[in-house]
Structure 1
Amino acid sequence: MAAPSALLSACANWTPGSYSCEKSGSKSCNSCKLVAYCSVNCQKTYWLEHKKHCKSPMTSGDLRHIVKTIADLPGGMVQQFRVTMNDLEFQVVARNTILLLLALTSQDSTGDGETGETNTPPDIAEALIHVWYSASIPSSVLSLLQNRVKPLIEDLCGKIADKPPNAVLAKTWEFSAGQTLRLIRTAVTLAPERADYRDPWYYKEASPSMRLARQRFREDGLLLPFGHPRSTFDVPNPTLFWSSKSWAMCDKADPSGGWPTMDVKQTSSPAPEDWYGKLFLFLHKLLNKFLGRHKETRVSFDIYNVDAKELPGNLEHGIYSRIEVANISDACYLGIRNTLRVLSPLLQTPRQNPHATFITTFINAVKEVAKTDKSDNECGDMDVSLNSSHSSWLLCCHQAVKKVHTVVEKWPTRLKLQLELGEKGDKEEFLMLLGSSFIGTERHVEWRRVE
């Protein structure tokens, strides 16, 4: 049985292993607004099952920057782009490679008859979402992985089987539209003992419907609209279940953690309180833009699996116009000094490109400089440090902080609406932040090279 597209708002009147209404849902439940039905009759028929959720007492490292950057490229650009990605964790690199291979092979004009695919999903963006985020996938998506991606990886594995484990290995895949992908290699969610941790998470959710949606995701691990049938998602996602001993993710991992909460909130959906349904639609639109840009622009991907400190030894210095290093600049990882010392030489000089930008992210910095006493000065001597020895050190590294950001917000998750200024929606904004995985003190800092 082919999996129905999650893009079509399915009538929520379905039961696993038996009846499933095949019509589209357009009338949301007035109580929870999590699901939509095609008619009042279907809503009444399904009420005994739905009330378990509707009246519940609970009433809870990846490709995203690459996808967003390429999707937002302006139309008509003819330059060729080179993207370099690195992660120390092999599982992260492997999943990124699989997702990119699936995306890039979709640009080729190979037909179903040549690949042996059956029950191909309506579009590749939907398949990418299932592989990226869902614990189980339809057999049609598994067919895509087996027929498009697996042969490419098997060919590589056969060629490197006899190589020593510390050897630097390289493989370049080329596709018909001119893209290349180069790979360089040198029971958890609902555990009873974690219940006391989960309950506070649920308590701080933005709404009762959000708690229900989070609970269902913890139960089945499927990124789908709340009322969408689950019966065809019967194959474990091979990119997530790489270990037979345990679930690889922490019990707080959530697919919405990497995306702007208000952008997801503002996505139109037949069920206005269906958070994961909105996230699915948001991602589908974004991935379609990402795939569309591949048809217009030549993009080369270099994927590395090395320690960040070793990365510059494999790359040409001074050729990158943008470098984003996530939060390895936090003190608990490399720290800002080591991050800039090791990786900033890869950035273009002002003579090459006056707009070249090095982007660091701090998750813990505000907490690290905050004092624990109750003195008038609430923060540590951060500015003094930056203005003295740190400034001299930055000059030695040929780096300077950009006072005006040109790529990302300085405080991307900070509350922006102010009640005293008459800005409406401040309470909703606060509840959305409280229920998210962000803390409001995440900080981006942009840097530039100086000569």
Structure 2
Amino acid sequence: MMNDELMGRFYRAMQAESQEREIPCQRDIFDGCPEASYLIDYARRKDAPIYALKRLLCANVNVEKSEDCKKSGTFICTKCRLVSYCSKECQTVHWSAHKQDCKDRLLSKDWRPCWAVEGRSPSFLDKGPESQFERWDTEELSMGPNLWGNMAAMDIVNLPNNEADSTKDLTLAFIASGDLRNVVRTINALPSDYSGKLKILMNDKLSYVSCRNMVLLTLLGTISDELLAADIALHFWYSAYLPYEYRMKVTGKIMEILRWKAADDSEGLSFPLGPRSTLLVGMPPESIEAAFANWSTCLSTTETRAEYHRMRKAPSRRDFYDRMYANLRPLHRVAFQGFRRSGVVLPFGASHAHFDIPNATLFSGNGKWLQRDYADPLSGWNPDEVIKAGKAHGAQAEDIYGCLYFFLLDELSSFARRLQQLRITFNIYNLTASDLSLAIRHNSFWSEGIPASIRFDRIEVSNILDVNYIGIRGVVSNWASLLSKSASATILGYFMNWTMLQEDGDMSTGKDLRAVQRVARVWAAKMKAEGRQGDPVQLLLTSLPDLNALNDNSNPFMRYLNKQGLDGILQSTKLKLRKTHTIVPHRNRAPLSGSLNALPEFPDRDSWYYHTQVLGGTWTERFVEFVHV
């Protein structure tokens, strides 16, 4: 039986609008504090409500009456294709609520971006590429960490194309991990008969990024109900608001982590993630407590909603938002708008009234949204797989965030299952990549199973190869000696910002005007086929970066690498660039076995649309694989 008085007290504390009052979350919370023990026990309970959707439900939801149809949604609204109903009767009853979305102006094929309507140049073109890049890093609305990633998750092992041995133990390092998506994808991609041991080192210099990953691992590894674990983890990761019961579950897990980390005995060094997997955290207790401080702050739901809408609908960024909408099919415009309004990853017609507690890991202690205004959970996953998973659960491709919900539920359920099946040890740190390498080589982490003698089969470095981070020399020289000597051992990463110093690698700079003119007419026809008619110049303005997907930038890229002194770096570290990649292709959507100049491939119109228009990106990103000579 729940302690209703204690539950009510904690609920009122979470709902308190005053920012002065806080729930303590540091170690002193465990000194005679019944709330801590209660919340930890609550986190371990098996009877929490499961809000997970196994299939698309009827969209007949009445929030005011707290009523919703529990039947499957099998009849699609033929106009918007964003919602489904179990019957004509439910559709008729729900029409008064649904018609606002079904008749939204964004659905019109005649919709035009605001700068075209107002007869002016869009603000995102008012400066050159260097100034624009500089502005992105100084404007408040476009600043902040990306807690969801901006590149599709990748499998950094690709076992069939490399070791091809399902019994081999693997040691993997994600030295600038960001969120958990590459780890999830890598483990889920291992063959079903994989029986080796996995040692996975995860590091991010931002403590709260590492701590979010820590919570995700504990949720997925310790909640016995796989579906519940996946649903809580999904919303903790991606939704701006949580159900109260999920908030309580996460709070209990955080307190469990803090109590474990505060323990003095040796058993406190190892946190079990089920019967076979283990989590070891090499972060100082004070870093963990500081990272979780926001979670104990009593954020106001009203104020955080106002802040969220301020970030998502800022008038000064209208041109940027309309550029996004201009690239989308009309039905997807409304889907994107729906997610940007609610901040919750769910099917379009699903009830989210019970998602009323701010996700404090996505807001600062004073209630400010932490990420950039265009942060989007879709950016971290392959849209082909997202749409396929959504359809398998009854969602339509037009309801793209509904598809994402079902995809993530499947992906995280599989990951939770593999945590129980495989022998995995996770080590989490919060250092710079350079400091981490130095600490390992100085044997600083031997007691945590990371001795100076350790060698990694994969070292994934993200895009810290870019000069605005650590750069090629800093990354390769620090990590080459920690790479295993096996033929498959690889340091892999990508360059995202290299064209800022090598302009001829980016068509959107306008350096190749003939090429731009050559594709303008073809581009206008393509946009018209997508339902976006109008001035070809205006259409091209919204899609200039996508021209890079049609452009071979291998020669400019090699010139850039040479300017960075690549030959000398490789000679001193006794590494080489792999010409034919075996883990990830040279470019997104290019063939894995393709040459350096291979172009991205789009087999049909939908493939082009989802990868260039829905996901966005620059299409100048280039991947590299370093291996021993």
Does the TM-score normalized on the shorter chain lie above 0.5? yes
CA shift at 1:260, angstroms? 1.2
**CA–CA separation in structure 2 for the residues paired with 1:437 and 1:407:** 23
| Contact kept in structure 2, 1:28 and 1:270, CA below 8 Å | no
Cross-structure match for 2:319: 196
1:98-144 deviations in Å (ceiling 9; x for gaps) = 1111112125xxxxxxxxxxxx8953111211111011112222232
The equivalent residue for 2:279 is: 181
Query: Could you list the per-position Cα deviations for residues 346-387 of structure 1 after superposition, in whole angstroms to 9, with x for gaps in the alignment?
Result: 2112xxx21111101111224542336459999676535757
**What pairs up with 1:53-202 in 2 under 5 angstroms?**
53-59=101-107, 61-106=178-223, 122-156=227-261, 171-185=269-283, 187=307, 188-202=311-325
Does residue 50 of the first structure (1) align with residue 98 of the second (2)? yes
Q: CA distance change for structure 1 residues 235 and 357 in 2, over 3 Å: closer, same or farther?
A: same
Question: Cα offset for 1:82?
Answer: 0.7
Amino acid at match of 1:400: K
State the secondary structure of the residue aligned to 1:46: helix
Whose helix fraction is larger, Structure 1's or Structure 2's? 2
What CA distance in whole angstroms lies between the structure 2 residues aligned with 1:263 and 1:106? 26
What are the Cα deviations for residues 53-84 of structure 1, in whole angstroms up to 9, with x where unaligned? Answer: 12211229300000011111112333221101
Quick check: 430-439 or 293-302, which moved more?
430-439
Is 1:317–1:345's contact at 8 Å kept on the other side of the alignment? no
Cα RMSD, aligned residues only: 2.8
Structure 2 residue aligned with 1:332: 468
Match of 1:166 in 2: none
Distance 1:50 1:33 in 2: 12
Matched, 1:409 2:409: no
Q: Say whether residues 1:241 and 2:377 are aligned partners.
A: no
Q: Note the C-alpha offset of 1:228.
A: 0.7
Question: Counterpart of 1:211?
Answer: 333
Change in 2 beyond 3 A, CA 1:431/1:121: closer
Amino acid at match of 1:408: V
Deviation at 1:226, TM superposition (A): 0.6
TM-score, normalised on structure 1?
0.85
Task: State the shift of 1:175 in Å.
Answer: 4.3
How many angstroms does 1:192 deviate by?
A: 3.0
Mean Cα displacement is larger for which, 316-325 or 303-312? 316-325
* Match 2:415 to one of 271, 286, 290: 290
State how far apart, in whole Å, the 2-side matches of 1:203 and 1:148 are.
Answer: 42
Alignment of 1:335-414 (within 5 A): 335-349=471-485, 353-366=486-499, 368-371=501-504, 373-374=511-512, 382-383=557-558, 390-413=566-589
Q: Can you give the 5+ residue segments of structure 2 that lack an aligned partner in the other structure?
A: 1-47, 108-112, 114-177, 285-306, 441-451, 516-551, 591-598
User: Distance between the aligned counterparts of 1:189 and 1:219, measured in 2?
Assistant: 8
Measure the CA separation in 2 of the matches of 1:417 and 1:409.
11
User: 1:445 maps to what in 2?
Assistant: 624
Corresponding residue of 1:307: 432
Question: In the alignment, is the contact (CA less than 8 A) between 1:25 and 1:270 conserved in 2?
Answer: yes
Q: Any conservation in 1 of the 2:459–2:492 contact (CA below 8 Å)? A: yes
CA contact 1:213–1:226 (8 Å) conserved in 2 = yes
What does 1:21-60 align with in structure 2 at a 5 Å threshold? 21-59=69-107
| Separation of aligned partners in 1, 2:352 and 2:613 | 29
SS of 2:312's equivalent in the other structure is: coil
Deviations 1:238-289 (A, max 9, x none): 3323422411111100111111122223331423111011111111111122
Q: For residues 437 and 611 of structure 2, what CA distance do their matches in structure 1 show? A: 39
Separation in 1, partners of 2:348, 2:560? 50
- 2:380 aligned with 1:258, yes or no? yes
Q: 1:385 to 1:198 in 2, by over 3 A?
A: closer
Q: Distance in 2 between matches of 1:176 and 1:121?
A: 12
Runs of 4+ in 1 over 4 A off after TM superposition: 372-382, 384-389, 413-418
Query: Could you tell me how far 1:336 is from its partner in structure 2?
Result: 1.5
Counterpart among 271, 288, 297 of residue 395 in structure 2:
271
- Larger mean Cα displacement after TM superposition, 319-328 or 261-270: 261-270
The answer to whether the aligner puts 1:281 opposite 2:406 as a matched pair is: yes
What CA deviation, in whole Å up to 9, does each residue of 1:187-220 have, x standing for no partner?
A: 2222233223212111112x12211111111111
Structure 2: distance between partners of 1:259 and 1:52: 30
TM-score normalized by the length of structure 2: 0.62
CA change 1:219–1:446 in 2 (3 A) is: same
Tell me which of 430, 446, 457 is aligned to 1:321. Answer: 457
Do structure 1's residue 7 and structure 2's residue 54 form an aligned pair?
yes
Quick check: 1:71–1:287 contact (8 Å CA) kept in 2? no
Gapped runs of 5+ residues in structure 1?
A: 108-119, 160-169
Question: Are residues 3 and 139 of structure 1, via their aligned partners in 2, closer, same or farther at CA, if it must alter by over 3 Å?
Answer: farther
- Give the fraction of aligned pairs with identical amino acids, expressed as a percent: 31
| Cα gap change, 1:239 to 1:99, in 2 (>3 Å) | same
Do the aligned partners of residues 428 and 66 (structure 1) sit closer, same or farther apart at CA in structure 2, a change above 3 Å counting?
closer
The DSSP-based 3-state class of the residue aligned with 1:225 is: coil
